[in-house]
Amino acid sequence: MVKVTILFRQPLDERHFEQHYVDALALLEKLPDIQRRQACLVLGSPAGSSPYRRILELYFENNEQMDAALRSAEGTAAGTFLMRTFGHSLEIIFSEVYEE
């Protein structure tokens, strides 16, 4: 299993951020072949505050399905929205998942 993790940094305007986050989530939910999803609201870290506001994880069966989903029309629309709306205030990571 593989996943896409999107880390959203703390915004200056939380209300504005949350409105756009909901729109981004709706677009990302349309990606084909998602096996599992986790949407997290970050509460903090051992040091107190965290640089992140939200974490979104989208799981796929394998790399091929993840690549196809991200290159699909839905993936392109979601990616364009993310970059235009959040730009450098997010990080995207691809990972292989090992579970017992």
Q: For the whole model, what pTM was predicted?
A: 0.93
Question: Do the domain assignments include residue 91?
Answer: no
pLDDT tens across 41-92, in order? Answer: 999 989 899 999 999 999 999 999 999 999 999 999 999 999 999 999 999 9
Longest CA span, the chain: 40
Sequence-separated (6 or more) residues with CB below 8 Å from residue 62: 1, 2
pLDDT on residue 31:
97
Question: Do the domain assignments include residue 69?
Answer: yes
Question: Do the domain assignments include residue 74?
Answer: yes
Question: Do the domain assignments include residue 93?
Answer: no
* CATH code, domain carrying 58: 3.30.70.100
